Chain A
Amino acid sequence: MENRPLEYDYTVAKMFMLTTVVLGIVGMLVGVILAWEMAFPAVNTIAGQGLAEYTNFSRLRPLHTDAVIFGFTVSGIFATWYYVGQRVLKVSMAESKFLMFLGKLHFWLYLMLVVAVVGSLLLGITTSKEYAEFEWPIDIAVVVVWVIWGLQIFGLIGIRREKSLYISIWYYIATFLGIAMLYLFNNMEIPTYFASGGIGSWYHSVSMYSGTNDALVQWWYGHNAVAFGFTVPIVAMIYYFLPKESGQAVYSYKLSLLAFWGLMFVYLWAGGHHLLFSTVPDWMQTMGSVFSVVLILPSWGSAINMLLTMKGEWQQVASSPLIKFMVLASTFYMFSTLEGPIQAIKSVNALAHFTDWIVGHVHDGTLGWVAFMIMASLFHMAPRVFKREIYSKSLMNTQFWIQTLGVVLYFTSMWIAGITQGMMWRAHDEFGNLAYSFIDTVSVLHPYFTIRAVGGTLYLVGMFLFAYNMYKTMTSGRRVEESELQNASPMGA
């Protein structure tokens, strides 16, 4: 035992890989149920009137968003951190009992939080703030888990052998700091039971902000949760996994540094675009629009850097499904970071706001970019952490095409639905009377809602293929030697 050579220790990475897969399926399954509920309202009571409280749209919706954000994505961030962190810092978790303890504690507390969140949301216990629905006891626990992760990050950095921090590490640090700041400020709340001297439920709270201030803080949080949850850590992943899998060093390291600082500075000011034509000051709305458009530059800086990394190696896209996932992810990143700024332009927003086009935008970003990149990362990690080749390459290819079709059906149907909705809402006759009632829009949108549900279902089918492939890799993939793991991941037929 004592004489064994030093190796990276992936115990904690494996634990978070498991929650990534499981919570991904749970979150997306709930999403698919919601999509069918939108198309066919009878699905709301599919389990009978008695259980309707738990199956209706409004009860399940926060469960979907929170499961895919704080469950699937955040697990994916943790799983890749516990893998990438060790490797680019060239230090093993096995070298520090304390950091290993922190890693495991991090996982088990996180799992307890997941249980608390799922339970409380199903029971309808919520602060009613979008993406910040957790009540104060859970918020405190979230902070504890986040601080433990931070200690782990900086602890590992503290004992590193590699002097320079690879660009991915910068992005992980930014994720940690960004979310810490956003979460703390947006969840400032007063427990009503204690403040009122014993009235109401002990877990209930009200936000410290109200009215326009509440809206501003909420969308500063909401938009930057997209920044520091769906962009920054996913960029961290692609900067490591694409070069590693393709065997090509990042095209321009200098551009990666520049894009990093650009993204950090610009993103934080763009949240105002969620509040265009609302009660917030006009200059703040304009600033939100302008910064959203400027945001194209740092976003495309990273995305183009990734595509250029593949320069001269494009045949890998055809031959490797893993490279396909990552190249499609970075393409969807470019696409949604162009679409977002377009929607943030005031005149476009006047049409797009509150329509399904926004929902389409969120999903081409999350399904096409975030989830594809997380799954690609896990596929790359699997042979290294389990010491087995990926069970099936053809299954990966099948999953890729099914899910790509799913995303395309999703966003195209939502484009058409959203623009139709926007046009119908604003249409009026020569006297200024509205031309359509709300229910007119609903009947016109029905086919597109159905197409969206089909697209979502296809994506979920892909998730099951992903889970099966990962399970078979773990249990029955061919055992591989260290020498096979240099770059391109070994895959069975």
Chain B
Amino acid sequence: MNSADIATFQAYGYFFFTAFLVVVLYGYVYHLYSSQKKGTRDYEKYGNIALHDEITDPPVEEISKNDEIKK
């Protein structure tokens, strides 16, 4: 492979890699907002972890023993 081919290959690789990452990024944004909208997961409630952080406060999302058993 000569250097012109390598440069062409690099350019295509660079373009598609960037395009791929842009898709991943916007996919992640879509995932976050659609999960929130569909009610699959309420991301915003995690903001309360900082506000209710006394050791006596109930966790925002508890680790239950069932979780580990299921897995």
Contacts and interface: CB of A to CB of B under 8 A. Distances in A.
B9 to A, nearest CB: 14
A240 B59 contact: no
B62 A161 contact: yes
Given A164-B61, A167-B46, A252-B44, 8 more contacts: A90-B59, A92-B55, A161-B59, A161-B62, A161-B63, A162-B49, A163-B59, A254-B36
Contacts of B43: 253-254, 257
B55 A164 contact: no
A247 B50 contact: no
Interface stretch (A50-58, A258-266, A466-474): A258-266
Contacts of A150: none
Nearest to B59: A162
A5 B54 CA distance: 12
Contact of B29 (A5, A8, A162, A258): A258
Contacts, number: 75
A464 interface: no
Question: Which of A87, A160, A252, A261 has the largest number of chain B CB atoms within 10 A?
Answer: A87
A87 B28 contact: no
5 contacts: A160-B63, A162-B59, A162-B63, A164-B60, A254-B44
Contacts of B28: 258, 261
- Interface pairs A-B: 4 shortest CB-CB: A249-B47, A87-B53, A163-B61, A166-B49
Interface of B: 21, 25, 28-29, 32-33, 36, 43-44, 46-51, 53, 55-57, 59-63, 67
A411 to B, nearest CB: 31
Nearest to B67: A163
Contacts of B55: 6-8, 90-92
A265 B24 CA distance: 12
Contacts of B61: 162-164
Given A164-B46, A254-B32, A262-B25, A249 B62 contact: no
B57 A239 contact: no
A8 B67 CA distance: 26
Interface of A: 5-8, 87-88, 90-92, 160-164, 166-168, 239-240, 243-244, 247, 249-250, 252-254, 257-258, 261-262, 265, 487
A164 B60 CA distance: 8
Contacts of B67: 163
Contact of A88 (B21, B36, B53, B62): B53
A244 B63 contact: no
Contacts of B44: 249, 252-254
Contacts of B60: 162, 164
A252 B43 CA distance: 9
Contacts of B29: 258
Contacts of A265: 21
Given A161-B59, A258-B32, A243 B53 contact: no
Nearest to B63: A163
A249 B50 contact: yes
Nearest to B7: A283
A166 B63 contact: no
Question: Which of A6, A168, A243 has the largest number of chain B CB atoms within 10 A?
Answer: A243
Contacts of B32: 254, 257-258
Nearest to A5: B56
Contact of A243 (B25, B51, B56, B57): B51
Contacts of A167: 46
Contact of B50 (A8, A160, A240): A240
A163 B50 contact: no
A167 B33 CA distance: 17
Contacts of B50: 88, 166, 168, 239-240, 243-244, 249-250
A236 to B, nearest CB: 11
Nearest to A257: B32
Nearest to A485: B54
A167 B43 CA distance: 11
Nearest to B29: A258
Contacts of B33: 254
Contacts of B48: 249
A88 B61 CA distance: 12
A92 B54 CA distance: 10
